[in-house]
Amino acid sequence: MSEIKIRYRILDKTYHKIETLIFTLEEIEKNENHILECLNNKHTEVLSRERYAEKEDKDGVEIYEGDIISNPKYEESYAVEYAKTLAGYVGYGDDRIAGCYLIIDDDIEVIGNVHDNPELVENK
């Protein structure tokens, strides 16, 4: 069985700082390190939850929903999203077909995410 991971972007309201935390589903269910209290309190706000796409880029960086990926073959960048109709993760842009192939290509590279680098999505 594959490992389910979730990447959280959390705003620390006290220090006005955004943090990225990654937890496995097992850690969340066991409430290891008081994860649930960290995610649900008056001092933090969950800004986004993004699932692990069960794939790494060419450098071994884990790919999550909301990441922006690029491929030198296509010279374009795409936002990673879950496609229900395909039951999997794809890189979406204007050219939906090329975007679909990007997520399975071994040459892809994570170059940012839609929250911090929205300008990197050329085809959105």
pLDDT in tens, 1-40: 578 999 999 999 999 999 999 999 999 889 877 888 888 8
Please tell me whether residues 119 and 93 are part of one structural domain: yes
Please indicate, yes or no, if residue 57 is contained in any of the structural domains: no
Question: Could you give the CA distance from residue 32 to residue 28 in angstroms, rounded to a whole number?
Answer: 7
The vertex-61 CA angle with 55 and 63, nearest 5°, equals 45
The total number of structural domains that make up the chain: 2
Q: Give the model confidence (pLDDT) of 43-101 as tens digits.
A: 999 999 999 998 999 999 999 999 999 887 777 788 898 888 877 788 876 555 556 65
Quote the pLDDT of residue 57.
Answer: 92
pLDDT at 98: 56
Residues 46 and 80 in one domain: no
- What's the whole-model pTM score? 0.84
Q: According to the model, what pLDDT value does residue 51 have? A: 95
Q: Which residues contact 55 (CB under 8 A, 6 or more apart)?
A: 62, 63, 89, 103
Pairing, β 44-56 against β 17-24 = unpaired
Q: Write out the two tokens for 90.
A: 């794809």
Is the residue at 59 inside a domain? no
Q: Based on the domain organization, do 45 and 68 belong to the same domain?
A: no
Task: Please tell me the predicted confidence (pLDDT) of residue 49.
Answer: 95
123 and 70 in a single domain? The answer is yes
Parent domain of 105: 64-124
